[in-house]
Amino acid sequence: MAPPMVTAAVMVAMAMVIGVAYGGNFYSECDATWEPQNCWSSDNGNSLSLALVSNSSGSMIRSKRQFIYGVVSTSVQLVPGNSAGTVTTFYTSSLGDKHDEIDFEFLGNETGQPYTIHTNVYANGVGDKEMQFKPWFDPTDGFHNYTISWTPCRIVWYIDGTPIRVFRNYENSNGVPFPTWQPMYAYSSIWAAEDWATQKGRVKTDWSKAPFVANYHGIDLDVCECYGGDCIYGCSAAFAGQGCAAQQLTADEMGKMQWVQSNFRIYDYCVDYKRFYGQMAPECSLPQY
Distances (CA, A) of 16 to 82, 224, 248, 268, 284: 46, 9, 19, 36, 33
Task: Tell me which residue range forms the domain holding 113.
Answer: 26-282
Q: Which of 101, 194, 225, 283 is catalytic?
A: 101
171 is a catalytic site residue? no
Q: Which of 35, 105, 194, 253 is catalytic?
A: 105
29 is a catalytic site residue? no
In a domain, 19, yes or no: no
More confident residue, 265 or 245: 265
Q: Indicate the pTM of the whole model.
A: 0.89
Contact status, residue 241 vs residue 12, Cβ threshold 8 Å: no
Residue type, 251: A
In a domain, 185, yes or no: yes
In a domain, 259, yes or no: yes
With CA atoms as reference, report the closest residue to 102 among 133, 146, 137: 146
Contact status, residue 115 vs residue 139, Cβ threshold 8 Å: yes
For residue 145, the domain's CATH number is: 2.60.120.200
- Whole-number average pLDDT of the chain: 87
In a domain, 237, yes or no: yes
pLDDT at 196: 81
Question: How do residues 48-84 score in pLDDT, each as one tens digit?
Answer: 999 999 999 999 999 999 999 989 999 999 999 999 9
pLDDT at 279: 96
In a domain, 204, yes or no: yes
**C-alpha to C-alpha distance for 97 and 126, rounded to whole angstroms:** 10
**C-alpha to C-alpha distance for 121 and 104, rounded to whole angstroms:** 9
**C-alpha to C-alpha distance for 118 and 135, rounded to whole angstroms:** 11
Instruction: Check whether 232 has a pLDDT greater than 60.
Output: no
Computed from CA positions of residues 280, 281, 287, 289, in that sequence, does the dihedral angle turn out positive or negative? Answer: negative
In a domain, 14, yes or no: no
Question: How do residues 174-216 score in pLDDT, each as one tens digit?
Answer: 999 999 999 999 999 999 998 888 888 788 999 999 999 999 9
pLDDT at 226: 83
In a domain, 112, yes or no: yes
Residue 3's contacts (CB-CB under 8 Å, 6 or more residues apart) are 71, 73, 145, 147, 158, 161, 220, 222
**C-alpha to C-alpha distance for 89 and 105, rounded to whole angstroms:** 4
Instruction: Check whether 21 has a pLDDT greater than 80.
Output: no
pLDDT at 242: 59
In a domain, 3, yes or no: no
Point out the least confidently predicted range of 82-86, 117-121, 139-143, 232-236: 232-236
* Domain count along the chain: 1
Contact status, residue 146 vs residue 156, Cβ threshold 8 Å: no
